[in-house]
Amino acid sequence: MKLNKDYWERRYEENKLGWDIGKISSPLKEYIDQLKNKEIKILIPGAGNGYEVAYLVQNGFNNVYIADLARQPIENLQNRVPTLPANNFFYGDFFDLPNCKFDLILEQTFFCALHPKDREAYSLKMLELLKTGGKLVGLLFDFPLTEDGPPFGGSKEEYLEYFKSRFTINVLQRSYNSIPPRAGKELFFIFTK
């Protein structure tokens, strides 16, 4: 199975969106709610229907960028958040994103959607995309990694292998405020470049 554009576009066409919770998740909401500077440049990679994008914009963050390989969620977001300029939407592969620097990148069910062989490349690309002092923040699944996926699981120990030599690990712990279906199955993290 190739996790390419056709695969993801088909998932949207067939409405097989098991990851889509229909609203912003509580951990991301709580993190966003304590941000003071609304000017920061934020990227949401593999945004899907990106409920956190609408939430950010409603709360005065306008420097928000979206990347997704699938057309349908990009179009959905453009319709739902029409105040964001067209240039803030990148329809394409995250790994082809131009080297523009962000203050904050929010992760939610994008890492686990990639094949595990791409995890090292994900870490390197995040390093490239962040400003010095910029943060990669979000959620990583905490269940055993198997061949079955997406979503592909992983563990704190495994994730540290990809990130600890490149980022300061500020937080990587069991999320205390997960949505009920994910309780006990995800880690909240903050990594600083």
Ligand X SMILES: C[S@@+](CC[C@H](N)C(=O)[O-])C[C@H]1O[C@@H](n2cnc3c(N)ncnc32)[C@H](O)[C@@H]1O
Residues that bind ligand X (CB under 6 A): 8, 19-20, 46-49, 67-70, 73, 93-95, 108-110, 113-114
Complex with ligand X: residue 73 or 134, whichever CB lies closer: 73
Question: Cα separation of 187 and 190, whole Å?
Answer: 10
Give the position of tokens 């709610």.
33
* Cα distances (Å, whole numbers) of residue 62 to 26, 134, 173, 187: 21, 17, 29, 27
A 10 A CB-CB count for 112 gives 23
What's the min distance (Å) between Cβ of 108 and ligand X? 4
Complex with ligand X: residue 68 or 186, whichever CB lies closer: 68
Complex with ligand X: residue 105 or 163, whichever CB lies closer: 105
Antiparallel, parallel or unpaired: β 130-141 and 89-91:
unpaired
What's the min distance (Å) between Cβ of 94 and ligand X? 3
What's the min distance (Å) between Cβ of 98 and ligand X? 13
> Which residue's Cβ lies closest to ligand X?
48
What's the min distance (Å) between Cβ of 47 and ligand X? 6
* Cα distances (Å, whole numbers) of residue 118 to 25, 95, 128, 139: 25, 10, 15, 17
